[in-house]
Amino acid sequence: MFERRIPEWLRHAPAPSVHGFALLAGLEGVTRGMLISVFPIALYEALGSASAVSEVYFYIGIASLVVGLLVPFLNRFIPRRWLYALGASLFALGCAFAVGLGPRGIVPALTLNAMATVVTFVCFNAYVLDYIKRIELGRSETLRMVYSALGWTGGPLIGITLYGWWQPAPFLLSGASALTMLAIFFYMRLGNGKLITRARRASPNPLAFLGRFVQQPRLVAGFTFAVIRSCGWWAYVVYLPIYAVQSGLSDQLGGLLLSVTNAALFASPVILKLMQLSSVRIAVRTGFFAAATLFGLGGALEALPFAALAALFLASLCLITLDVCAGLPFLMAVKPSERTEMSAVYSSYRDVSGILTPGLAWAVLLVAPVSGVFLLTSGALFCAWLVTSTLHPRLGARRMMLAAE
C-alpha cells in the first residue's frame, strides 16, 4: 500500500519574505492606482464643482479615520488574516458598486475603497513588523516602492483612458487586481502574525494606545511627516486634474502627469543609496523644503497653466523622495510590544490628511480658486520642514547601511 504524503507547501507555510510583502504591495498599487485618477474626475462630473468634491472627500476621510482606529479593537474579535481579507474584499465590492450603479455608485465606491485602504494598511504594516527584521526595514520599504511602481505608474493613465472609453472598465480591472491580491495573501499563509498564541492581556482600546503614542515625541514627529506628506499627495492627485479641466486642458492630463510622476518609484533604490551617503535627516529636510517651494510656485503661477503644472510635477518628484525616507523615523521608533497598536496610529495619517486636506480646501475654495489649495499645501510642507530640525543627524544611518548589505 502506497503511503499518502501531504505536499510540503501544505504542511509548512512558505516563510514570509521581503519579496512576498513587496508583491502584495505591488498588487495593491495596481488596485488603487487604476482608480486614483478616475475618482476625482468622476466625482467632479457627478457633483459639478470642486467644493462639492472636497466635501465628499472630507466626510469619507472622517469615516475611514474611525475605521482605522478601530482596527486593533476589532482584531480582538476578528483574526488579523480575516481583517486583511475583509479589506481586500472591500476593494472589490467598491468596484462592483461603481460598475453596477454608474455615477450613483461613485461615492459608495470611493467610501469602500478608502476603508479598504486603511484596513489592509494596518494589517500589512503589522505583518511587516512581525516578519521583517529592523535592519531590513529600509530595504523592505524600498522594495515595496519598486514593486508598487508598475501599478502606480501605468494605473493612473490607463485608468483615466479606459474611463473615457468605457466607464466601468477601470473598475473591473481594479476589482480583478483586488481579488488576485486576496488570493496571493492566502497563498502566503501569514496567519495572525508571528505570535499567534492567545494574548495574556486584552488589547487596549484606541484611546488607550493614543495616550501612549502622544507620550513619545519621535512617534509624533514621524506621524506629522506622514500626514503632511500625504496632504501634498492629496493636493496633487485630487486638485491637479480639476485645475487642468478648469484651465481648459484635457481631463486625461492629470492621469498622465501622475503616471509619469510614479515612474520615479523605480528610482527608489537610488534614493536610498543617496540617503546612505548622508542621513535620513538631510533627505527628509531637503524633500520637504523643495516640495514646499515648488507647490508655492505652482499656486502663484495660476494664470500660466503649463508653468504651474510643471512646478507641481516637480513638487511631486520631491514627494516620491519623501515616500522613500519620511516613513523611516516612525518605523524605527516603534516598540516591538506596540506593533499592532502603533501600526493603527501610523496608518491613520492617510485619514487625517484625508480630513485636513479636503476640509481646508473646502473652505479655501469658497473664497479662492483651486490654486489656493496649492498655496495652502506649500505652507503645510514648510511647517514639516521646520519640524525636521528635531531629527537626530545620524538617524537610521547604520541600519540603512546594514540593510543595503
Q: Is 8 a domain residue?
A: no
Q: Which amino acid is residue 11, in one-letter code?
A: R
Q: Which amino acid is residue 399, in one-letter code?
A: R
Q: Is 254 a domain residue?
A: yes
pLDDT exceeds cutoff 90 at 349: no
Domain count, the chain: 1
| Percent of the chain's residues with pLDDT above 90 | 15
- Nearest of 81, 73, 336 to residue 193 by alpha carbon: 81
Model pLDDT, residue 95: 92
Q: Is 358 a domain residue?
A: yes
Model pLDDT, residue 29: 86
* pTM score, whole prediction: 0.74
Domain that holds residue 249: 14-404
Residue with cell 478648469: 246
Q: How far apart are CA 156 and CA 257, in angstroms?
A: 9
Q: How far apart are CA 301 and CA 307, in angstroms?
A: 7
Model pLDDT, residue 402: 40
pLDDT exceeds cutoff 90 at 192: no
CATH number assigned to the domain comprising residue 231:
1.20.1250.20
Q: Is 4 a domain residue?
A: no
Tell which wins on pLDDT, 384 or 269. 384
Taking residues 175-200, report their average pLDDT.
70
| Percent of the chain's residues with pLDDT above 70 | 74
Q: How far apart are CA 23 and CA 29, in angstroms?
A: 10
Q: Is 2 a domain residue?
A: no
Spatial contact of 120 and 160, defined as CB atoms under 8 Å apart:
no
Q: How does residue 374 score in pLDDT terms, banded at 50, 70 and 90? A: very high
Q: How far apart are CA 165 and CA 187, in angstroms?
A: 35
pLDDT exceeds cutoff 50 at 384: yes
Q: Is 230 a domain residue?
A: yes
Q: Is 231 a domain residue?
A: yes
Model pLDDT, residue 2: 42
Q: How does residue 266 score in pLDDT terms, banded at 50, 70 and 90? A: confident
* Polymer length in residues for the chain: 405
Q: What is the 3-state secondary structure (H, E, C) of the chain?
A: CCCCCCCHHHHCCCCCCHHHHHHHHHHHHHHHHHHHCHHHHHHHHHHCCHHHHHHHHHHHHHHHHHHHHHHHHHCCCCCHHHHHHHHHHHHHHHHHHHHHHHHHHHHHHHHHHHHHHHHHHHHHHHHHHHHCCHHHHHHHHHHHHHHHHHHHHHHHHHHHHHHHHCCCHHHHHHHHHHHHHHHHHHHHCCCCCCCCCCCCCCCCCHHHHHHHHHCCHHHHHHHHHHHHHHHHHHHHHHHHHHHHHHCCCCCCHHHHHHHHHHHHHHHHHHHHHHHHHCCHHHHHHHHHHHHHHHHHHHHHCCCCHHHHHHHHHHHHHHHHHHHHHCCHHHHCCCCHHHHHHHHHHHHHHHHHHHHHHHHHHHHHCCCCCCHHHHHHHHHHHHHHHHHHHHCCCCCCHHHHHHHHC
Q: Is 363 a domain residue?
A: yes
Model pLDDT, residue 11: 47
Q: From residue 372, give the alpha-carbon distance in Å to each of 246, 340, 363.
A: 14, 38, 10
Taking residues 121-145, report their average pLDDT.
67
Model pLDDT, residue 51: 86
- Nearest of 315, 310, 306, 327 to residue 264 by alpha carbon: 315
Our CA angle for 91, 97, 99, nearest 5°, is: 105
